[in-house]
Amino acid sequence: MSKATGQNKTFPIGERLFALCERLFPICRSITGDGVRETLSILKEYINLEIKEVASGTSVFDWVVPKEWNIRDAWIKDEQGNKIVDFKNNNLHILNFSSPVHGKIDLATLKDHLYTLPDQPVLIPYRTSYYKKNWGFCLPHYQYEQLENSTYEVYIDSTLEPGYLSYGELYIPGESEREILFSAHICHPSLANDNLSGISVLTQLAQKLQEQRNQFSYRFIFIPGTIGAITWLAQNEKKLKNIHAGLVASLLGDAGNFTYKKSRRGNTEMDFVVRQVLQKLKHPHEILEFIPYGYDERQFCAPAFNLAIGNLTRSQFGTYPEYHTSGDNLQLIKPKYLEASFHLYDAIVHFFENNIYFKNQYPKGEPQLGKRGLYDAIGGNSDSKKMQMVMLWLLNLSDGQHSLSHIAHKAGYDLTLVKKVSEILEEKGLLKRL
Ligand code: ZN
């Protein structure tokens, strides 16, 4: 498939999503460095991404932006000078963030720096050492077992120097300042489902949203996992009040059923919307309670922020056998799965765009309904008792966080009726449309 395919709108959407993954796959990414920059500059061809650089050493809450890691080459040679492990064949061969090294060592010393998967002997593991200075190589276990007791030459041509942490951000202003946030991590090297599938689906979604008028504003961030999310949060704390809801996108290209991990609050608008849309599209799925482990929803749902942000994936984090191994490659993901994931995300956006959000203008206690003639307004209706209840539900839940659909669902009334009553309350000035 040609590089141009990724931008060519005449190709089916699944093919376009896959083509972008294919294009990004060979790049050796990490939490900092040129691999991240190259990835972001490719995304910039598709969307109006702003690339931000935060200097190493910058304090971000309890963390510090690390040094910049760049790597050019790495290998292990046997006594005869044959390269038996070569970074240029697969960038997972290097322990990500390895310090530079060059020298001859014996097998026992070498083994202290080798990482394998004894239970999956043909796969290369993906390992990192961001916050502890180290060097190492990752290789299939069967190859490890064949290593002879002799001398090996190891070479890692890398640099760990003060530089920057790079991330990409796209803000698409809508009619309202209220935002929906989408985030994907961009720190994994050649892994397809875990990393690239989320990047690709969000890029496609951003491309669509930047070309249309929207009710909500949308923010897309492409950030290195954990440290990137923490850096973004530290630098954008003031903007967080506008975030209505959001999703962390990852693992969207494999054959697994959809999995939604709820926000920490567990009852937010996003939690409601994802459930509704999954049911409506009749996708088999699983909904999980929040746990403080997984992707960057951990950071967005930290107690001080507690945002309405969940994690929507296909297979669950860490559960498929190829996870964090060389098996998570372009054969694991399929255009049709990426496409279904895109349509799901798109349907979620559609739900937000087509819902009405009200704010109760008299939220301090129940407003006095009698003096506004509201009992008379509904009195003549055959279902006036029901309408009275709907009125109370609307007044109570119109906090800007609940859509009319959400209120109807919670109250257990038909949406048409809820809409009708909301119009009466709006006319009387009790509810204001956001
Ligand atoms: Zn991962």
The residue with tokens 């839940």 is: 397
pLDDT band of residue 385 (cuts 50, 70, 90) is confident
Other CB atoms within a 10 A radius of the CB of residue 410 amount to 14
Q: What confidence tens digit (pLDDT) does each residue in 351-378 have?
A: 999 999 999 999 999 999 888 888 877 7
- What is the predicted pLDDT for the residue at 381? 74
Q: What is the mean pLDDT of residues 332-341?
A: 98
Q: Report the separation in Å between the CA atom of 332 and the middle of ligand 1, taken as the mean of its atom positions.
A: 15
Q: Report the separation in Å between the CA atom of 57 and the middle of ligand 1, taken as the mean of its atom positions.
A: 24
Q: Report the separation in Å between the CA atom of 310 and the middle of ligand 1, taken as the mean of its atom positions.
A: 17
If asked whether residues 200 and 298 sit together in one domain, one would say: yes
Domain that holds residue 426: 357-433
- What is the predicted pLDDT for the residue at 7? 56
If asked whether residues 258 and 315 sit together in one domain, one would say: yes
Q: Please report, as a single letter, which amino acid is at residue 15.
A: E
Segment (H or E) for 351:
helix 335-353
Q: What confidence tens digit (pLDDT) does each residue in 160-214 have?
A: 999 999 999 999 999 999 999 999 999 999 999 999 999 999 999 999 999 999 9
Would 190 be classed as within a structural domain? yes
pLDDT at residue 6 tops 60: no
Task: DSSP letter for 124, please.
Answer: P
> Which CATH number covers residue 318?
3.40.630.10
d(CA 57, CA 194): 28
Q: Report the separation in Å between the CA atom of 169 and the middle of ligand 1, taken as the mean of its atom positions.
A: 20
Would 221 be classed as within a structural domain? yes
Would 5 be classed as within a structural domain? no
If asked whether residues 427 and 280 sit together in one domain, one would say: no
Q: Report the separation in Å between the CA atom of 235 and the middle of ligand 1, taken as the mean of its atom positions.
A: 24
Would 31 be classed as within a structural domain? yes
Would 385 be classed as within a structural domain? yes
Q: Report the separation in Å between the CA atom of 188 and the middle of ligand 1, taken as the mean of its atom positions.
A: 7
Are 65 and 55 spatial neighbours (Cβ–Cβ below 8 Å)? yes
Would 332 be classed as within a structural domain? yes
Q: Report the separation in Å between the CA atom of 185 and the middle of ligand 1, taken as the mean of its atom positions.
A: 9
d(CA 79, CA 13): 50
If asked whether residues 238 and 267 sit together in one domain, one would say: yes
Q: Report the separation in Å between the CA atom of 294 and the middle of ligand 1, taken as the mean of its atom positions.
A: 9
pLDDT band of residue 8 (cuts 50, 70, 90) is low
If asked whether residues 368 and 224 sit together in one domain, one would say: no
Q: Report the separation in Å between the CA atom of 128 and the middle of ligand 1, taken as the mean of its atom positions.
A: 10
Q: Report the separation in Å between the CA atom of 31 and the middle of ligand 1, taken as the mean of its atom positions.
A: 12
> Which CATH number covers residue 103?
3.50.30.90
Q: Report the separation in Å between the CA atom of 312 and the middle of ligand 1, taken as the mean of its atom positions.
A: 14
Q: Report the separation in Å between the CA atom of 96 and the middle of ligand 1, taken as the mean of its atom positions.
A: 12
**Those residues with Cβ within 8 angstroms of residue 45's Cβ, 6 or more apart along the chain or in another chain:** 7
Are 395 and 360 spatial neighbours (Cβ–Cβ below 8 Å)? yes
If asked whether residues 46 and 89 sit together in one domain, one would say: no
Q: Report the separation in Å between the CA atom of 319 and the middle of ligand 1, taken as the mean of its atom positions.
A: 11
d(CA 18, CA 1): 10
Backbone angles phi, psi at 8, to 5 degrees: -80, 110
If asked whether residues 222 and 325 sit together in one domain, one would say: yes
If asked whether residues 192 and 305 sit together in one domain, one would say: yes
If asked whether residues 114 and 195 sit together in one domain, one would say: no
Q: Report the separation in Å between the CA atom of 195 and the middle of ligand 1, taken as the mean of its atom positions.
A: 7
If asked whether residues 58 and 121 sit together in one domain, one would say: no
Residue at which a domain ends, from 336, 353, 370 = 353
Residue at which a domain ends, from 161, 187, 204 = 161
If asked whether residues 133 and 148 sit together in one domain, one would say: yes
Q: How many CA atoms lie within 13 Å of 67's alpha carbon, on the beta-carbon side? A: 15
Residue at which a domain ends, from 141, 161, 181 = 161
> Which CATH number covers residue 391?
1.10.10.10
Q: What is the mean pLDDT of residues 334-352?
A: 98
Chain-wide mean pLDDT for the chain? 95
pLDDT at residue 59 tops 50: yes
Domain count for the chain: 3
